[in-house]
Chains A and B, each alone.
Chain A
Amino acid sequence: MSLSAAPLLELDRISLSFKGVKAITDISFAVARGEICALIGPNGAGKSSLLNVINGVYQAQQGRVCFDGEVRRHMRPHHAAERGIARTFQNIALFKGMTVLDNVLTGRNLKRRSSWIEQALGIGRAHREDDVQRRRAEEVIAFLNIQAWRQSPVGTLPYGLQKRVELARALAAEPKLLLLDEPMAGMNASEKKEMSRFIVEINREFGTTVVLIEHDIGVVMGISSHVVVLDYGRKIGDGPPDEVRANPEVIAAYLGTRH
């Protein structure tokens, strides 16, 4: 098997519980390089917990995670970031006091190589680097079409835009894997359409692998090439959208219910 055919992310029999309450039970699946993979399932199915395991916020009690050819049992969020995993949060987690530009610049935190002494005095690598970081941040801002708000404090922006700024910050890190926790929650139809388009474009232009959680089945089936269905912390479906749609267990647990 060649390296490029190996999955970027592989979860192997992951189990996670909180003080005896099982959140995730024995889940395995693989995410191929360059695909958009959607995690779906009813509320409380363990989708966010699973995302938090991938990015190191939670440590799974059992199982292992293999990312980009490296197996690890314990990983902290900053390690995950160093290895190329960026994410957004279900409840927007932006730096509210900072401007849009500064928020996006924080996403480039790990790309800086100059020492803090060079940065403080504005000498050596720091000077050149500032320009590079800024240019990259501006590129991401232009890509996501939020130039008009570059200098606004993010706390003052409407919800839909904040979601986009959060995506911009994650994208600024040039991640291999982008984890999006309900990127379209609380958006109206046209905002959802726009956000879906951004996600597809990110995936196509930069080849970024995306794992996202989304409730809107229409959106999920439209943009993802791989769907994993969870229910009560177990995996009940895994495959291309059409196949998952036809799976009777999935229909019973999720697609068949009115919501």
Chain B
Amino acid sequence: MDFFLEVLIGGLLAGVMYSLVAIGFVLIYKASGVFNFAQGAMVLFAALTFVSLGERGVPFWIAFLVTLATMLLLALAVERLVLRPLVNRSPITLFMATLGLAYITEGAAQALWGAQVHGLDLGIEDVPLDFGGLLISQFDLFAAGMAATLVLVLSLLFNKTRIGLSLRAVADDTLAAQAIGIRLSRVWVAVWAVAGLVALITGLLWGARLGVQFSLSLVVLKALPVLIVGGFSSVGGAIVGGLIVGASEKLAEIYAGPLLGGGIENWFPYVLAMLFLLVRPAGLFGERAIDRV
């Protein structure tokens, strides 16, 4: 039983890491109805900038703030150069644009800081702690704490403020949103900047675990099943989806792995996602489209 709990908790905490990546997608999807393929590249860009500044002797918090400012500049550039010219175009057009943006961001990150692998030490040891017989990774707990704080801040921002209402308005109908006095450009910059902050935190946590390198931009692949399970338009869904994916893939690996030959956790989330697509295409918390016929 203890072993089961340990696997379950380990899985849930790993899931939190997936949720972090997924939240970045949800934010931008909510605001513009577009799947931002460049989120992974933003994670890489943020982590690489932070770690490279650190290696040049910049103190932690200064490096953090400078990286954050860089992400804000990136948001401004994206709004000005990509979103504004493409306003009111179809989602597939915007999606293709983010595809291009992904390559440009990745290229820029590596042109600026080089392509070698960097280690990242956040000063938290990845050692198991003993909770009454259960061994739980200290780093995972820290990551979970970070994610919880982030979600709290985001939900206050988006549920209680004018920004949140504006965001929903822009996502629903850009023309009507403008007519009630919302500045599209501000909303977009705000959302991309927040997505940049999420990318930075994701990059730091994943970078500390995997090392800061090109493959960091591939963690987005883990976010896909999370989004399908939780729903594309809900931050809460991204969290729950991440937990479900994390826990189920670890449990499947341990308990079904021996029967099926192991390596299950690599493909299990996608099978889960496919089942969800068949049964509940909007995900657990996604908005179902309301259409009058």
Contact = CB atoms under 8 A, between A and B. Distances in A.
A76 B168 contact: no
Contacts, number: 88
Contacts of B1: none
Given A76-B178, A109-B182, A93 B162 contact: no
Interface residues of B, number: 26
Interface stretch (B111-119, B153-161, B201-209): B153-161
Contact of A112 (B162, B178, B292): B162
Contact of A105 (B165, B178, B181): B165
B161 A155 contact: no
B73 to A, nearest CB: 21
A76 B160 CA distance: 27
A76 B182 CA distance: 11
Interface stretch (B43-51, B169-177, B214-222, B267-275): B169-177
A183 interface: no
Nearest to B183: A78
B260 interface: no
Contacts of A57: 175, 178
30 contacts: A55-B179, A76-B178, A78-B184, A80-B179, A81-B180, A82-B181, A87-B179, A93-B173, A93-B175, A94-B172, A94-B173, A94-B176, A95-B176, A95-B177, A96-B173, A102-B165, A109-B181, A109-B182, A110-B181, A112-B162, A116-B163, A119-B161, A120-B157, A120-B161, A121-B156, A156-B290, A169-B180, A170-B179, A173-B180, A173-B181
Interface of B: 156-157, 160-163, 165-166, 168-169, 172-173, 175-184, 287, 290-292
Interface of A: 55, 57, 76-78, 80-82, 86-87, 89, 93-98, 102, 105-107, 109-110, 112, 116, 119-122, 126, 153, 155-156, 169-170, 173
